[in-house]
Structure 1
Amino acid sequence: MSTAAENAESVGPGPRLAFILHWFPKPSETFIYDELSALRRRLVPLDLFTLYGPWSGHLSPDMPAEDYPVRRLGVRATGLLVRDILFWLRKNGTAARRLWRTVPWRKWSDPEMAGENLWAFLCGFRIARLAREKKVHHLHASWANGPATAAWVASRLTGIPFSFSAWAGDIFPPDGALSEKIRDSTFVRSTCRSFVAHLQQQAGPHADKIHVIHNGQDPSRFAPVEVLNQPRLRLLALGRFVPKKGFAHALQAAAQLKKEDVDFHLTLGGDGPEARRLKRWARDLELEERIAFPGFVPRQQTDGLFRNTDIFLMPSVVDPAGDRDGIPNVILEALLHRIPVVASNVGGIAEVIRDGDTGRLVPPGDASALTAAVRDLAQHPGEARAMAERGRQLVLREFNLETNCRKLLDLIARHSKGGHE
């Protein structure tokens, strides 16, 4: 049975859009929540389809889902998926049979990616029927992996144009169908310039479909704070506890600062599969009195952490599978608070943290360089504050939520379908 939220509809001018996601809302995807909220404020007619059921973990109170027109699939929708597969075999048998012969049998990059994309393939039949019924003009997938596969399938069945966003882990490594999805899409939105060459290589003759639109921030949510004016140096790192975040190197840097008798305290906020290992390593390095693990930090509590921070750390690396960060949202948030940042030169981070200009950029996996950069900022607080202010101005110019949302809407409007069968 559909909930009231699933039956709710956004109303307003312009083409009717459907966004396809893994989950909605998801606590680690505040940037997507904010983008969709900005679209709602513009009265964009909007539907959301998720490949899975409701997120069962932590959710911030400021990320309510009940007001959004969300249709969630997941295993409970299996019967509807079967029904709609049969529907499309009757309605558009040529396209449906061609999809069955080609999409499920391709060589996916790994078993996990195969599972996600096969499920997304099935979901595409359901989304196609829902999009047709709702008279959707354009499908946009918020990720280049499973959601884009579902949008691709739905588009092939209905003729409704589709596009997708590419962030980082959804294109590194490519899932096995990225080139075809780019080929058949109307455009691809890369959230950082650093990934354009990679996407263009996948696109081949369709390289002109790649456009850069950064994720955005609402500057009204952030106020500058006073930093580097306390005897004890206050360090902060936030993110999921997964290998690509490189938090083990933050612990190594903390151990080195302790050896140098630097008075500091590190807050390492987040949760994930590496939580136990990181806490055990902190004990082994005898950092218990210098480090706090508050666990998952809801968005409404991050402001309090930023207000008690002198330097923000983002020691990202490329993990063994090739996954990496794009432009982590928390870097933008730190700069909007005018907090100096030390980050690794990975993914799109160098587009924001320009070494010696808007922060300190260090080689990935180099704890000694991370330590030296922290020490340098602490010893030169005036220069550190000036870098943070330049970083803040860069974020205000290039990462404005409303501006970048308008750019995305402009692209969609140029490629949306005017009518329906």
Structure 2
Amino acid sequence: MSLPKTAYILLWYPLPSETFIFREVENAKAAGMPFQVYALYGEARKHLSPQMAAVAPSVVRLGARAIPAILADMAWWAVKRPVETARILATLPWRRWSCLEVAGENVFAMCAGFSLARRFLADGIRHIHAGWANGPATAAWVASRLSGIPFSFSARAGDIYPQDGALADKMRDAAAIHTNNKANIAYLSGILPEAAGKIRQIYNSLTLTGRDAASVHLEPPYRLLAVGRFCRTKGFDVLIDACAILARRNFPFQLTLVGSGLPWPTALIRRRIRIHGLRARVFLPGFVSHDRMSELYAAADIFVMPSVVHASGDRDGIPNVIMEALAHRIPVVATDVSGIPEVIEDGVTGRLVAQRDPEALAEAIMALAADRDQALALAEAGRARVAALFDPATNTQAICDFFASIPTRRHS
């Protein structure tokens, strides 16, 4: 199998909240995939696991300190390829971006693409891949247009929901696209039907396996666990409302809500807990490093993932924490958003409820708690499904096959 020397572009690498990408890259490298990672931003130093810290020095980084070099490279390309440079600068920054933050990310990514194009030619790169469809794919697209090196990208969740102002064009020009759930295939194909044949679905590899099944005592007080970034797609406000319903029904529980986020969404969650009088029942330990999560999974009775679709269209793909919980044989309650039903099938591998319905969420939690045998049967079935769909060896081979199948001929 011929594997091309490939530039893998991300905003940050390694990033503690993106363990699934870390495993994708490092597993593929261990299997012989010649990846060189390029990060558009600087280094994320907080909460790195020992494995992440070990690979951090190998990453080629840009960031603010690279701005003088980026400007020089833009000038160099303006001389070498004046028409294409003018076309990029005249069109790409002025797309209809969803917000100023997205616009800023993509404009910087565009500029970074000029530098990366020169680096890729010097480094002997034969293929360019972006780990996300937003800024990283914009940088890959620009670098490909300038250098002639083919590019591909991954399409996952918030990077395509809602689509950015250049997604259809990136899809049109990409040599291939891979996505980590089946729900995204129909969505992407609807954006650009002629690109449907380029899209390949490859599930993420499981990043945290449960060596031993959780005890799942399911005895009062029932131990609920939820994990994720405090952001608009996780639905933790709905979960807090569901906890208020449980409290009113005198259901004995404790919720550990693991995660962190920007100050504003964190403050809103804390305020909701306070308004509902749940401070004695809901615990917020903050960010917990990936290598310590097994301790929390082992102590849980029920895992809850209340994902929602934001008004903007932003949503989760398949939250990796669902697979991690099932790998530890924990019964799961989740919402029917995006690719989640590919893992949680109601009454088969867990309980699936409608999004933004705290009453349904509370009912599903109480139903699992009322029948331990059924809850464990669902969790065992979920564990088997996760082992089959998210097997690291199988999916790493699929990643390598994906890159081996992409033509590496330079285009003009």
Answering whether residue 135 of structure 2 is matched by residue 151 of structure 1, we say: no
Distance 2:220 2:147 in 1: 63
Is 2:227–2:259's contact at 8 Å kept on the other side of the alignment? yes
Q: Which runs of structure 2 are paired with 1:201-280 in the superposition (5 Å)?
A: 201-218=190-207, 220=209, 222-273=211-262, 274-280=265-271
For 1:46-195, what aligned pairs fall within 5 Å after superposition?
46-66=35-55, 69-195=58-184
1:303-349 Cα distance to aligned partner (Å, 9 max, x none): 11001000000011111222111000100000000100000111111
Moved more, 302-311 or 259-268: 259-268
Counterpart in 1 of 2:285? 294
Q: State the SS of the aligned residue for 2:52.
A: coil
Q: Which amino acid aligns with 1:304?
A: E
Mark the CA change 1:418 to 1:181 in structure 2 (over 3 Å): closer, same or farther.
Answer: closer
Q: Which moved more, 1:310-319 or 1:399-408?
A: 399-408
Q: Could you tell me which residue of structure 2 aligns to residue 308 of structure 1?
A: 299
Deviation at 1:260, TM superposition (A): 1.6
Matched residue SS, 2:53: coil
Deviation at 1:250, TM superposition (A): 1.2
Unaligned ranges ≥5, structure 2: none
Give the drift of 1:220: 5.0
C-alpha distance in 1 between matches for 2:261 and 2:365: 26
TM-score under structure 2 normalisation? 0.95
* Range with greater deviation from structure 2 (139-148 or 50-59): 50-59
Aligned-pair distance for 1:412? 1.3
Farther off after superposition, 400-409 or 331-340? 400-409
The structure 1 residue matched to 2:381, chosen from 390, 398, 411, is 390
Q: Deviations for 1:240-273, whole angstroms, at most 9, x for unmatched residues? A: 1112111111111111111222221110111113
Contact 1:52 1:74 in 2 (8 A): yes
Q: TM-score, normalised by structure 1?
A: 0.93
Partner in structure 1 of residue 402 of structure 2? 411
Match of 2:312 in 1: 321
Query: 1:207 Cα deviation (Å)?
Result: 1.6
CA drift at 1:110? 2.4
- Helix, strand or coil for the counterpart of 1:163? strand
Instruction: In structure 1, list runs of 5 or more residues that go unmatched.
Output: 1-11
- How far 1:61 sits from its partner (Å)? 3.4
- Give yes or no for the alignment of 1:366 onto 2:360: no
**Bigger shift: 186-195 or 331-340?**
186-195
Secondary structure of 1:230's counterpart equals coil
Q: Which residue of 2 aligns with 1:330?
A: 321
Contact 2:10 2:40 in 1 (8 A): yes
Q: How large is the RMSD of aligned CA atoms in angstroms?
A: 1.9
Q: Is the 8 A contact 1:317 1:344 kept in 2?
A: yes
Cα offset for 1:37? Answer: 1.1
Q: Secondary structure at the match of 2:303?
A: strand
Are 1:357 and 2:348 matched, yes or no?
yes
Equivalent pairs, count: 410
1:89 deviation in Å?
2.0
- Residues 1:190 and 1:419: Cα distance change in structure 2 (over 3 Å): closer
- CA distance in structure 2 between the partners assigned to 1:293 and 1:416 by the alignment: 49
On the 8 A contact 1:15/1:416 being kept in 2, the answer is no
Please, which moves more after superposition, 52-61 or 382-391? 52-61
CA distance in 2, matches of 1:302, 1:24: 21
Displacement of 1:85 in angstroms is 1.1
User: Residue 58 of structure 1: CA displacement?
Assistant: 3.2
SS at match of 1:387: helix
- Inter-partner Cα distance in structure 1 for 2:11 and 2:211: 28
In structure 2, the residue matched to 1:5 is none
How far apart, in 2, do the equivalents of 1:384 and 1:331 lie? 15
Does the CA contact (< 8 Å) of 1:137 and 1:416 recur in 2?
no
Specify the alignment match of 2:26 in structure 1: 37
8 Å CA contact retained: 2:149, 2:409: no
Give per-residue Cα distances to partners, 1:265-313, cap 9 Å, x unaligned.
1101111131122112212211122111101111111111001000000
- Quick one: distance in 2 between partners of 1:109 and 1:302? 34
Taking the aligned partners of 2:65 and 2:207, their CA distance within structure 1 comes to 36
User: Which position in structure 2 is the counterpart of 1:284?
Assistant: 275
Deviations 1:77-100 (A, max 9, x none): 001101111222233333223222
- Per-residue CA distance 1:51-71 (angstroms, 9 max, x = gap): 111125433334225455311
When residues 317 and 411 of structure 1 are mapped into structure 2, their CA distance, relative to the original with a 3 A threshold, is same
Of 251-260 and 98-107, more deviation after overlay is shown by 98-107
Aligned residue identity for 1:276: A
In structure 1, give the amino acid aligned to 2:119. L
Which of 21, 27, 31 matches 2:10? 21
Contact 1:187 1:210 in 2 (8 A): yes
Counterpart of 1:207, as a letter, is A
Q: CA deviation at 1:165?
A: 0.5
CA contact (8 A) 1:353 1:391 kept: yes
Shift of 1:221: 5.6
Q: Report if aligned partners of 1:13, 1:45 keep a CA contact under 8 Å in 2.
A: no
User: 1:6 maps to what in 2?
Assistant: none
How far apart, CA to CA, are the structure 2 residues paired with 1:247 and 1:67? 32
Q: Find the aligned partners of 2:327 and 2:281 in 1 and give their Cα distance.
A: 26
> Residue by residue, what CA displacement relative to the aligned partner does 1:202-238 show, whole Å, maximum 9, x if unpaired?
2232221111111111565643212134332110000
- AA aligned to 2:65 is R
Distance 1:291 1:252 in 2: 12
